[in-house]
Structure 1
């Protein structure tokens, strides 16, 4: 979807190059989101074939990152962007790193199954807990990519707040896993699997949060890394002079 906040230059080709950078980021995000869905489906159903496909698909994610990186570097070299254009290119470069890391977490989930495919399996209740957390994570990633695509600081701020529910799920699942290991040594293998998947999902939430921060930086021109939600809200709500 073309972004009407990108453009207005003397060169239509330049406008298209900037738009392509954002579009390719969103496409890469879509690929990674599918990787995440497939990895969770593989883990939930013990589908070794699908898990291997996810692991293999990580190469495509890496290729995507290299392609976008080269596209952005080409813009920097030839166009020498300034102000908003420079922020856009830098934000895309930062965001593709987070998207690639999300792809790594999807691979991590797939490898969790592959490392112990003949071992004990989590219960239906435990899998339901993980899938509930995964659904929130996937939605957060979708919303983060949309906020970036639309350069919408308000949407990005709303998405940032979704991370609290994910952190709460992570804490609960980890506590349950630790308790299970302490009370039954036979649960150690299963608990380690659950902990590994939950940690991967928690990291996806963190990287989605980073993408939102990049969107706010792009929209507001302020570096918002390491700020809390209240500080972010003040920046988002502040109008330009």
Structure 2
């Protein structure tokens, strides 16, 4: 079999597994939207749908990992091809964890509803942060599909917006609790939900870092943003 034919087969396999990752990304994006809707509307059915979708997310993660292991064993890739396969595996793990965060939000919504009459939670800021996190994940998936390092760098910068939104939200919750002790319990619920949203942004950032790793061969995890920018030059 010619090297060209082997290369063509390998490219086809990479394309197939990459498409599966994008499919997984779409699934967890849907989970986030449903979880946030369930929170804003206190909708039991939608919250339960998020939980049921998690089964599909977990199954897809296992399938993708199995396919990646098969490709590595059969093709024994090196250099950038190996980095790509490793990055796909890590991106898949991050997407599965995004699904976990959506599941946490849905379970908390069900807990709030089951505890009695839904409380009037000051959740507008949380929905804003959720929209930011969901948008960031969408951009990360698009950048990953195109291996766009410029977009990846932009995502790293945008993650700071979610972190600042989270910090401001925590300060507001502390104010609520200080002014009215009756707000302590619902505020703690919201703090739990806000942390889940922040982690979604963190996973989008992780995927952006993987893009730079694939293209530049540089591990930029835990690296200050100005140093990441120097890697990009």
1:131 corresponds to 2:133: no
Any residues of structure 2 matched to 1:56-67 within 5 Å, and which?
Answer: 56-67=52-63
Q: CA deviation at 1:183?
A: 2.2
Q: 2:69 aligns with which of 67, 73, 83?
A: 73
State how far apart, in whole Å, the 2-side matches of 1:168 and 1:99 are.
23
How high is the TM-score relative to the length of structure 1?
A: 0.91
* CA-CA distance at 1:119 after TM superposition: 4.5
Equivalences, count? 228
Deviates more, 1:213-222 or 1:20-29: 20-29
The 5 Å alignment of 1:159-170 reads: 159-170=155-166
The residue that corresponds to 1:155 in the other structure is: 151
Q: Deviations over 1:157-203 (max 9, x none)?
A: 01111111101110111111122122212112210121111111100
TM-score by length of 2: 0.94
* 1:28 paired residue number: 24
Q: How big is the shift at 1:120?
A: 4.3
Compute the RMSD of aligned alpha carbons.
1.3
For structure 2, the 5+ residue unaligned runs are none
In structure 1, the partner of 2:203 is 207
Q: Is the 8 A contact 2:156 2:208 kept in 1?
A: yes
Q: Determine helix, strand or coil for the equivalent of 2:126.
A: helix
Please name the residue that 1:5 is paired with.
none
For residues 6-31 of structure 1, the C-alpha deviation after alignment (integer angstroms, 9 at most, x for no partner) is: xx774322111111222111110110
- Tell me which residue corresponds to 1:121: 119
Report the Cα offset of residue 121 of structure 1.
2.1
- Going from structure 1 to structure 2, the CA distance change for 1:95 and 1:9 (only over 3 Å counts) comes to farther
Partner of 1:4: none
Out of 99, 102, 106, the position equivalent to 1:106 is 102
Task: Determine whether 1:47 maps to 2:43.
Answer: yes
Segment of structure 1 superposing worse, 17-26 or 60-69: 17-26
Aligned to 2:123, the other structure's residue is in SS state helix
Inter-CA distance 110–104: structure 2 relative to 1 (3 Å threshold): same
Checking the alignment, whether the CA contact within 8 Å between 1:160 and 1:212 is kept in structure 2 is yes
Query: Structure 1 unaligned runs (5+)?
Result: 1-7
